[in-house]
Amino acid sequence: MSDDKNRLTTAFGAPVADDQNSLTAGPRGPVLMQDTHLLEKLAHFDRERIPERVVHAKGAGAHGYFEVTADVTRYTRAKFLSQVGKRTEVFARFSTVGGEKGSADAARDPRGFAVKFYTEEGNYDMTGNNTPVFFIRDPLKFPDFIHTQKRNPATNLPDPNMFWDFLSLTPESIHQVTILFSDRGTPATFRHMNGYSSHTYKWHNAQGEYFWVQYHFKTDQGIKNLTRQEALHLRGADPDHATRDLYQAIERGEFPSWTLEMQILSPEQAKDFQWDIFDITKVWPHAEVPPIKVGKLVLNRNPVNYFAEVEQAAFSPGNLVPGIGISPDKMLQSRVFSYHDTHIHRLGPNYHLIPINQPRNAPERSYQRDGFMRTDDGGGAGPNYWPNSFGGPGPDAAYLEPPIPLEGQAARTPYGHPNDDFVQAGNLYRKVMTDQDREHLVGNIVEHLAGALPRIQLRQAAIFYKADPDYGLRVARGLGLDEARVKELAAMSQEARAAATSQ
């Protein structure tokens, strides 16, 4: 007899007598339907996989804390940011974007940088990337963009034509493409990269004043990237290198940390700002909006069970707390819908009851009821409607967000002037990158773009040329393209360029 603790049981707790021999009619006879242990075991196994994330499927996560290091109460009333020295539990997940759950960590891809803060006012998720900008700035383009980063519908292969066709027809991507094809597109590990909100968010203080803000989590380990040769080697030799690195560093007691810096603009400053602050393809130049240090993020505990804690983790830019709100950025507005929607598909309507997602420091008190996998008491005998006069929880107007002024017509209006799109990418190429950065950038692009059709190469080279002539010409030379034709295409409008390179 085994003791209770070591005894194998069925899912419903009954002891299992034999886990090696199925129940058969006679020693060589068929298996009996009454082997309920076998049936339960197979049926559960058949359902082990849940849908993988449609993007950011491959990732690694860890627990830790966030500590406030500066007084920011004049900008936000968020309680978890209310006092220097205050600590809040967090769970962070890092990921690649385009690949499947088993894909290589060293892919050239943005890295997801998602942090869940378990605050006393509810869970707050900062769901960002390791790049301060993004490829597109209208959510209608997101599913198309992601399709081009995935597999060709006919060949089931990654396809440089799809990849570059879309990007070269979407010039607003040039800033992010320039970062992606620099060595920052292949970070050495998850520990050696920054995390950015990329979007503008809205903070407000206890007096009802609001501010536009951007988050920058700067790695305390220092930025470290892979060259394309190193990345290529790792993709084959150790596809899980970044997952392993994070886990092992934490096991060794080398806890990775990031310093949170914020860029903050008052609504008055934002009015005259030279860039559209809701356009995610642009940064706020540091010289104009110097980042201020706010806190430290430290990861110091590995998950015990990957599926329970990492695979089932559900982040959403819509998980906000009082003092932090979203901005009118169209992409952000749509993300607020998309994440909750996909979580319901991936994890079910009660995914907030899965321990990693539970608002563990601010228990749910709502009138949402029932649904698949309602694993708590579902509100017990309490009222299930509002308003009620039976003592149920009620809303509190003290948590209203300050309003923001809006004007204009309900219309499908694009952002800014398309010529703006090349300025910041050009600055990055000319002013920020070193000679070696530029050489690696051009080499990384040439290697990848070489797989696309010549007409697409020409169109994309013209986009690089518009960011900086040297940039475009070096790519053109690397690909053996006609430089005069690249200049000609660069001088055209986007529509004319698309038409001139349509076949």
Which active-site residues does the annotation give? 56, 129
**Which of the choices ligand NDP, ligand HEM, none does residue 129 contact, using the CB cut-off of 5 to 8 A by kind?**
ligand HEM
Give the amino acid at 18: D
Q: With binding defined as CB under 6 A, does residue 467 bind ligand HEM?
A: no
- The span of 9-17, 42-50, 98-106, 281-289 binding ligand NDP (CB under 6 A) equals 281-289
| Binds ligand HEM by CB under 6 A, chosen from 79, 216, 335, 440 | 335
Fill in the per-residue mask, 168 to 207: x = in contact with ligand HEM (CB under 6 A), - = not in contact. ------------------------------x---------
Kindly indicate which of the ranges 63-71, 111-119, 147-155, 420-428 contains the residues binding ligand NDP, using the contact rule CB under 6 A.
420-428
Site string for ligand HEM, 83-122 (x = CB under 6 A): ----------x-x----------------xxx--------
Please give the DSSP secondary-structure letter assigned to residue 401. Answer: P
Q: Which of residues 185-204 bind ligand NDP (CB under 6 A)?
A: 194
Looking at the Cβ atoms of 91 and 278, the one nearer to ligand NDP is: 278
Collapsing DSSP to helix, strand or coil, 151 comes out as: strand
Q: For residues 215 and 386, give the distance between their C-alpha atoms in angstroms, rounded to a whole number.
A: 37
Question: Of these partners, ligand NDP, ligand HEM, none, which one is at the site of residue 474 (CB under 5 to 8 Å by kind)?
Answer: none
Q: Are the CB atoms for 149 and 134 separated by under 8 Å?
A: no
Contact partner at residue 179 from ligand HEM, ligand NDP, none, CB < 5 to 8 Å by partner kind: ligand NDP
Report how far apart, in Å, the C-alpha atoms of 412 and of each of 28, 167, 415 are. 71, 21, 10
Q: Under rule CB under 6 A, how many of the chain's residues touch ligand HEM?
A: 28
Interaction of residue 459 with ligand HEM, rule CB under 6 A: no
- Least distance in Å: CB of 273 to ligand HEM? 20
Contact between 163 and 234 under an 8 Å Cβ cutoff? The reply is no
Q: Please select the residue that binds ligand NDP; options are 114, 174, 179, 486, rule is CB under 6 A.
A: 179
Peptide bond into 454 cis (omega under 30): no
The listed partner (ligand HEM, ligand NDP, none) that binds 182, CB under 5 to 8 Å by sort, is ligand NDP
φ/ψ bin of 408: left (φ > 0), alpha (ψ from -120 to 50), beta (otherwise): left
CA 492, CA 490: separation in Å to the nearest integer? 6
**137 exposed, middle or buried (CB, 10 Å; 0-12, 13-18, 19+)?**
buried
Burial class (CB in 10 A: 0-12, 13-18, 19+), 390: exposed
Per the annotation, binding residues are 339
Across 38-49, b (16+ Cβ under 10 Å) vs e yields beebeeeeeeee
> Distance between CA atoms of 460 and 454, rounded to whole angstroms?
10
Q: For residue 104, what are the contacts with CB-CB under 8 A and spacing of at least 6?
A: 96, 234, 235, 236, 239, 240
Sole binder of ligand NDP in the list 197, 200, 302, 424 (CB under 6 A): 424
> Chain centroid to CA 17: how far?
47
According to CB under 6 A, which one of 54, 206, 432, 499 is a site residue for ligand HEM? 54
**Which of 139, 158, 285, 416 touches ligand NDP by CB under 6 A?**
285
Residue 9 pairs with which residues in a beta bridge?
15
User: Any contact of residue 287 with ligand NDP (CB under 6 A)?
Assistant: yes
Residues 268 and 113: their CA atoms lie apart, in Å, by 30
Q: Which two tokens stand for residue 456?
A: 């697409």
Q: Is the Cβ of residue 299 or residue 490 nearer to ligand HEM in the bound state?
A: 299
Residue whose CB is nearest to ligand HEM in the complex, by number: 112
CB contact at 8 A, 468 and 438: no
Alpha-carbon span 259 to 297, nearest angstrom:
6
- Stretch touching ligand HEM by CB under 6 A, among 202-210, 338-346, 364-372, 446-454: 338-346
Report, in Å, the least distance between residue 315 CB and ligand HEM: 4
- Tokens representing residue 358 in the block: 């539970």
Q: Which helix (H) or strand (E) holds 489?
A: helix 483-491
Query: x/- binding map, residues 287-326, to ligand HEM, per CB under 6 A?
Result: --------------------------xxx-----------
Stretch that binds ligand NDP, among 134-142, 326-334, 424-432, 485-493 (CB under 6 A): 424-432
Residue 78's binding partner among ligand HEM, ligand NDP, none (Cβ under 5 to 8 angstroms by kind) is none
Helices 142-149 and 330-347 pack at an angle, to 10 degrees, of 60
Shortest distance in whole angstroms from residue 315 CB to ligand NDP: 21
Residue numbers in the known binding site for heme are 339
- Report the distance separating Cα 201 and Cα 206, nearest Å: 17
Q: Considering only the stretches 254-262, 342-350, 408-416, 449-457, report the one whose residues sit in contact with ligand HEM under the rule CB under 6 A.
A: 342-350
293 lines the binding site for ligand NDP (CB under 6 A): no
Per this entry, what is the length of the chain?
503
Work out whether 226 is an interface residue with ligand HEM (CB under 6 A).
no
Binding interface with ligand NDP (CB under 6 A): 132, 179, 182, 184, 194, 216, 283-287, 424, 427-428, 432-433, 437
